């Protein structure tokens, strides 16, 4: 019998060793008005607090994207249709203003040449007719009406000849009917959307055949919230953070702050310029713009300290270990994980930043917060 009892005791000991340890229980919470009081203050370790601080300055971070400088970019589209005969440049080629990019065999251009020649011939005939009418009118042989009609016809023919010549000169091309596609700006070919033999028609609405730009300067497009507008103005210097170069910063400057707030996103378009002399930055890159903000009179708390119940923001302020009062606050913009506090808190107070959602559930007839406070 003694041996059986010993075996039973050994089994119970082993079973106890194999069981999971009992989890630490959180202290019970009672509510007195707006106060949450822990019955066992020594078990308040699950609540983390932080101190309300004055704003010592911060960094505003805005997402953005680099694009081509539109003041130095041209998208080249032929003014006439035709078939591509020759391509003179490739992507990455440096080109000068007026340099030929491609040659098109263009019936449309040939027609423009024919129209110009016909207009010149008509102008010459009109001049000769006008000279004859002048002589006859001086001799009293023709009426004033015929003389005036000859003058009008000469003016019309001259205008038509000038129009056809200007159109032909604007199109460019060669005497054999080939249409020469040229770039009006110097830069680098960054896009080419044609192949030999391509049949191009202006009415098709296709994308530009070439895009030429100067990539040594780029534009920066940012989307700023309404709360950030006070910190943004033309001429403000910024630095760019690019994930492709994590240890470097690139300088830039704000050029324009938009005058329109997007009704769906509540953001404002901001444009900047970024020098790119070594061409390491590329059009289309996503970047983060960093703008250093000076100290202000506002107070700061970690964003996790403020939560939203209904339409009101609250924070739990620690009165003593295990005693926390729920207080309504007015919060502003969020930057780098910190919220501006305009009312409801005082400098030096401690607020709960972890565990506040556990406390709020003990308040009766209070809707549960849907999410932490947003910007």
Q: Summarize pLDDT for 230-253 with one digit per residue, the tens.
A: 778 888 899 999 999 988 999 999
- Give the residue among 273, 272, 283, 271 at the shortest CA–CA distance from 215: 283
Residue 5, in any domain of the structure: no
Given 186, 212, 238, the domain boundary residue is 212
Domains in the chain, number = 3
- Residue range(s) defining the domain that contains residue 139: 75-212
4-61: pLDDT as tens digits: 544 544 444 444 444 444 444 555 778 878 888 887 777 777 888 888 888 777 778 8
pTM over 0.75: no
Q: How far is CA 207 from the centre of its chain?
A: 22
Given 238, 260, 293, the domain boundary residue is 293
Q: Is the dihedral of CA 151, 152, 153, 159 positive or negative?
A: positive
Residue 90 host element (H or E): none
Checking phi first, is residue 337 left (phi over 0); if not, alpha (psi -120 to 50) or beta? left
The CATH number of the domain holding residue 141 is 1.10.287.470
Q: Are residues 181 and 246 located together in one domain of the fold?
A: no
Torsions phi, psi of 134, nearest 5? Answer: -65, -45
pLDDT in tens, the chain (375 residues): 445 544 544 444 444 444 444 444 555 778 878 888 887 777 777 888 888 888 777 778 889 999 999 999 999 888 777 778 889 999 999 999 999 998 887 656 545 555 566 666 666 666 766 676 666 666 666 666 665 666 677 667 666 665 655 555 545 544 455 778 889 999 999 999 888 887 777 766 668 889 999 999 999 999 888 877 877 888 889 999 999 998 899 999 999 998 888 888 888 899 999 999 999 999 999 999 988 877 777 788 888 888 888 888 888 888 888 888 898 888 877 777 788 888 888 888 888 888 888 888 887 655 544 444 444
Q: Are residues 81 and 66 located together in one domain of the fold?
A: no
Residue 312, in any domain of the structure: yes
How far apart are the C-alpha atoms of 99 and 311, rounded to whole Å? 63
Residue 160, in any domain of the structure: yes
How far apart are the C-alpha atoms of 313 and 334, rounded to whole Å? 14
Q: Are residues 239 and 177 located together in one domain of the fold?
A: no
Does residue 237 contact residue 60 with C-beta atoms inside 8 Å? Answer: no
How far apart are the C-alpha atoms of 210 and 78, rounded to whole Å? 10
Q: Are residues 116 and 170 located together in one domain of the fold?
A: yes
How far apart are the C-alpha atoms of 69 and 123, rounded to whole Å? 45
Q: Are residues 64 and 126 located together in one domain of the fold?
A: no
Given 235, 266, 293, the domain boundary residue is 293
How far apart are the C-alpha atoms of 10 and 16, rounded to whole Å? 10
How far apart are the C-alpha atoms of 132 and 112, rounded to whole Å? 31
């Amino acid at each position: 019998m003694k041996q059986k009892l010993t075996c039973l005791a050994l089994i119970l000991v082993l079973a106890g060793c194999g069981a999971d340890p009992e989890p630490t229980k959180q202290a019970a919470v009672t509510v007195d008005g707006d106060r949450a009081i822990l019955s066992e203050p020594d078990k308040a370790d699950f609540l983390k607090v932080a101190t309300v601080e004055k704003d010592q300055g911060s960094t505003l971070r805005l997402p953005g994207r680099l694009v081509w400088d539109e003041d130095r970019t041209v998208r080249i589209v032929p003014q006439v249709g035709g078939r591509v005969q020759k391509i003179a440049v490739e992507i990455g080629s440096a080109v000068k203003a007026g340099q030929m990019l491609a040659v098109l065999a263009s019936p449309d251009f040939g027609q423009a040449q024919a129209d110009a020649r016909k207009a010149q011939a008509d102008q010459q005939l009109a001049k000769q007719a006008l000279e004859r009418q002048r002589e006859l009118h001086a001799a009293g042989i023709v009426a004033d009406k015929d003389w005036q009609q000859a003058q009008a016809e000469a003016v019309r023919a001259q205008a038509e000849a000038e129009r056809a010549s200007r159109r032909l000169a604007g199109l460019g091309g060669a005497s054999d009917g080939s249409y020469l596609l040229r770039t009006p700006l110097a830069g680098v070919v960054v896009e080419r959307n044609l192949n030999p033999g391509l049949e191009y028609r202006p009415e098709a609405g296709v994308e530009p055949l070439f895009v030429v730009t100067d990539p040594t300067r780029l534009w920066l497009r940012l989307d700023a919230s309404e709360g950030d507008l006070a910190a943004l103005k033309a001429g403000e210097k910024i630095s760019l953070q690019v994930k492709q170069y994590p240890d470097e910063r690139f300088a830039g400057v704000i050029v324009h702050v938009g005058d329109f707030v997007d009704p769906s996103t509540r953001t404002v378009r901001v444009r900047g310029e970024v020098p790119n002399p070594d061409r390491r930055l590329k059009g289309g890159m996503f970047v983060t713009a960093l703008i250093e903000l000076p100290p202000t009179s506002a107070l700061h708390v970690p964003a996790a300290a403020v939560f939203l119940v209904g339409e009101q923001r609250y924070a739990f302020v620690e009165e003593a270990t295990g005693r926390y009062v729920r207080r309504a606050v007015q919060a502003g913009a969020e930057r780098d994980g910190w919220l501006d506090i305009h009312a409801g808190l005082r400098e030096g107070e401690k607020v709960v930043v972890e565990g506040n959602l556990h406390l709020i559930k003990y308040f009766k007839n209070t809707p549960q917060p849907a999410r932490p406070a947003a910007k």
